[in-house]
Amino acid sequence: MILIALRDLIGVGVQEKFRTALNVQRAALHFHPTAIADPDNVGVRVDGFDIDPDSIASLVHNYDNNGFKKINGVEGIARKLRVSVAAGVREDSLNTRQLYFGFNRYAEKHAKPFLKFVWESMLDSTLIFLMVCSIVLIGGKFATEGLLVNVYDEVGIILGVFFLVVFTSVNDYHQSLKFCEWDRENKNISVKVTRDGKRQKISIYDLVVGDIVHLSIGDQIPADGICISGSNLHIDESSLTGQVDPVYVNQENPFLLSGTKVIDGSGKMLVAAVGMRTEWGKLVEVLNDVGVEETPLQVKLNGVATIVGKIGLSFSLLTLAVLVIQFFVDKATRGDFTNWSSKDAMKLLNYINILVTMIVIAVPEGLPLAVTLNLAFATKSLTNDRALVRHLSACETMGSASYLCLDKTGTVTSNCMVVNKLWISGEVVEMKDNRNGNKLKGKISEEVLNILLQALFQNNASEMVKDKQGKTTILGTSTDSALLEFGLLLGEDDSLVSLPNGGLRVFCKGASEIIIKMCEKIIDCNGESVDFLENHAKHVEHVLKDFASEPLRTISLAYKDINVIPTENNIPDNGYTLIAIVGINDPIRLGVKDVVQTCLAAGVTIAMVTGDDMNIARTIAKECGILTNNGLTIEGQEFRNLSTMHMKVTIPQIQVMARFLPHDKHSIVASLKDMFGEVVAVTGDGISDAPALHEAHIGVAMGLSGTEIAKENADIILMDDNITTIVNIIKWGRAVYINIQKLVQFQLTAIIVALVINFISASVTGYVPLTAVQLLWVNLIMDILCPLALVSEPLNDELMKRPPVGRGEKFITNAMWRNIFGQSIYQVIVLVVLNFEGKNILSISGSNATDVLRTLIFNSFIFFQVFNEINCREIEKINIFKGILNSWAFLVIIFSTVAIQVIIVQFLGNFACTVSLNLELWLISVLIGATSMLIACLLKCFPIERHVSIRRDGYQALSAQP
């Protein structure tokens, strides 16, 4: 007797599934290894192997069927590789195989050396010009005075440029190393192999030639190899060869290439080549120069920096023009216009030096760098939370996510099926935690039990394996694993020998609504096949509704006895006998309810999509809090029939989508993006989720249960499948956006004050109070220290109490403009008053009174920025100290800035153009800077026009202002 098993008739045509079942039998016959000697191709034994690495790699690359057959196929290659097709490689041979055949690693582009970053930082045109001017000034003074005296300003500028270059290079180098680390983690996937007769998971990097790899739908081929056996194995080679159509791997075409993907079927592969000997490795070697992508926020800030830089350049040129005009006017009034000396040239060159320094501070080139710094910090923190960010822009975009589309199976639920209820012979038996096997045996006859066992064991693709510790594990799909585990509780399958008449028995299982339509008979309590009458149909319909209300996914089991093996084009799709209806349950993941409530409170709309039955989907959605009383549920067929006009009305109200095909998921995501301007995040774990994951702004895949195709199309991977991590991802995305807003507010304030005070002073007195060295120190605070301080702020729950920021929202909000202009006007007024009346107001006298006053102005300016940095912790709220003690890094940077300022003023006077200040003047400087905190409180009391958005559901959202 031949028993033909049909698998998973769920949502797919009957003909295709029968064809799959037949291919199982054919694959078992066609791929059965043989042991025919090959006297003509013995080869030379090297390290115990009869074939060299290049020869076996070439066999696969060239699709050499003739050579493959000459070696006697898989068995012949296995003999030459000293490996058992059944037991796999021996653990004690791994080192030898790696040394001889190579490691499964590709040539990686090495991180740029630190000196390369230094060199690139030094190529900044403004810094080069600043250095050249300083060197020319030093040379001029040496030529005129003969000694290198009074060159402190110039040396200070050179040292300032040096420290700026070093700080920038260290930060860039650190980020480069991080990117390499993330890339390696992203490529480190798990592979299922058999070694020493035991099934186990290993890292792709530990794969060796001779390994027996188990492939299933959604897997990535980890190395070049040869198929040992397979069931309907179809491979997507488009990423490697560009071929769009799937490649069917069979006896005539057994070759598998690294980097390709399994899109259908399953199989076993013998690894023939690894690492750089694979076809993918050769391609990677050519295409290894992969740059770091620029995120949307970086692009936006590049525009901000360009505009601010142009304004700063205008102010700088205007300041230079004023200084030069005053210089010429002064020479003309003294009648000395025709008498030029080297000192005059030095003075003009010094003006140019001031111009370049003002340009350096006026161009906030550190803004895009700050985004990278923020994203790097967020990504590192998410990695600690077991979330791998594959694309930096996804972390940033997640903060703007306004729509979260959750896949039910594997995301909302654990994708770990268990049998909870069984209907058979008119009886409903509850199987609590799969421990009521004896109860079921007592309710049904032995004949019925035998048929049930046949259906459970024969039509099942799962298998039982033992690991190194001897622990038994069931491997396969969640549905097959649940049915196999259930069958094992009922007893061993010892009744699958033959039918009484010597015929064939076909088993099938799948979605109840499909299988029941194929059934014309039903088994009675004695195991006999009787007609499927109307009363039976009504009873079955009632059972299905009862199961679905719990919610349970229903799988129907059926069989048909036939006399001849059907062809692929003539497979029966009716006349089956219904055996049983199995109710399996996929438990809801822990924390899903909290995630839903938190996201809804944060203004993120949530919907659930699944290919399952509507009753199950609706029940689970209600339990999780996704489905509300007024929420809309829709099935895939109904969605596909919607016109564009109806979609615009219907889609905003959808909360549950059932019986959705992969194309439907892709369509709903595309519609949300294009029609409604939503920022869409999608979760998924299966190959059917890949199109939606790719289409969404942010695709989130499961790391443990997800297929490699799903992971490749995702932007973020939850390595431990913990759905609650999504809340932290949203928090970090919002934190990055808000931190950059705080930084922009701080930097624009400092830039405006520095440019305006220098321009006013130059226009009136002919000199600038903030020298080149001092402005370089300010630039270091703005571009390095302030970003480090703000990025270190810990997450807080307030981030999830505001709506997401839309893509069309202004980056610099009205509240930010209020704070920027208010602080700038106040600081400029105070510094101008000090500049012109400081000596009288503070009674500063003596031969160095002017130097003391200029130092006081510089000191007050720095403390303005220090206290304004604290102000910027909150853009709208008055309480700026909330949580500051928890941000130890912020406090360390603030105190470090003050400490460096003390050193500059008290000990580096010659270089920084400062003089030592007494305690009284230090206190005055600190008090002047501290008054900016009072001004910040007063400014926040002024009301501003708030942008109130109208949500799709008609409710008014809270202000999007941070």
Catalytic residues: 407
* Interstrand relation of 716-718 and 418-424 (parallel, antiparallel or unpaired): unpaired
**What tokens were used for 446?**
């032995």
* Interstrand relation of 504-511 and 553-562 (parallel, antiparallel or unpaired): antiparallel
The whole-angstrom separation of Cα 303 and Cα 711 is: 33
Q: With CA atoms as reference, report the closest residue to 231 among 12, 24, 16.
A: 24
* Residue 613: other Cβ atoms inside 10 A: 22
CA-to-CA separations, 27 to 23, 67, 263, 567, in angstroms, rounded? 6, 21, 17, 15
Over 538-604, what HEC string results?
HHHHHHHHHHHCCCCEEEEEEEEEECCCCCCCCCCCCCEEEEEEEEEECCECCCHHHHHHHHHHCCC
CA-to-CA separations, 458 to 231, 453, 481, 558, 581, in angstroms, rounded? 15, 8, 13, 12, 17
The whole-angstrom separation of Cα 579 and Cα 717 is: 41
Long-range Cβ contact pairs of 73-77 (< 8 A, separation 24 or more): 73/33, 73/34, 74/31, 74/33, 74/226, 74/227, 74/228, 74/254, 74/270, 75/33, 75/34, 75/35, 75/36, 76/36, 76/38, 76/41, 77/51, 77/226, 77/270, 77/272
Q: Which amino acid is at 757?
A: I
Q: How far apart are the first and last CA of the chain?
A: 73
E strand or H helix at 780, and its extent? helix 772-780
**What tokens were used for 527?**
């195991």
Q: How many residues are present in the chain?
A: 962
Render 228-248 in DSSP notation, one character per residue: EEEEEEEEE-HHHH---SPEE
**Cα 38–chain centre separation:** 51
The whole-angstrom separation of Cα 754 and Cα 354 is: 12
The whole-angstrom separation of Cα 228 and Cα 871 is: 67
**Cα 180–chain centre separation:** 15
Task: Write b or e for each residue in 681-700: b if 16 or more Cβ atoms lie within 10 A of its Cβ, otherwise e.
Answer: bbbbbbbbbbbbbbbbbbbb
Check residue 466 and report its DSSP letter: E
CA-to-CA separations, 181 to 110, 379, 557, in angstroms, rounded? 11, 12, 49
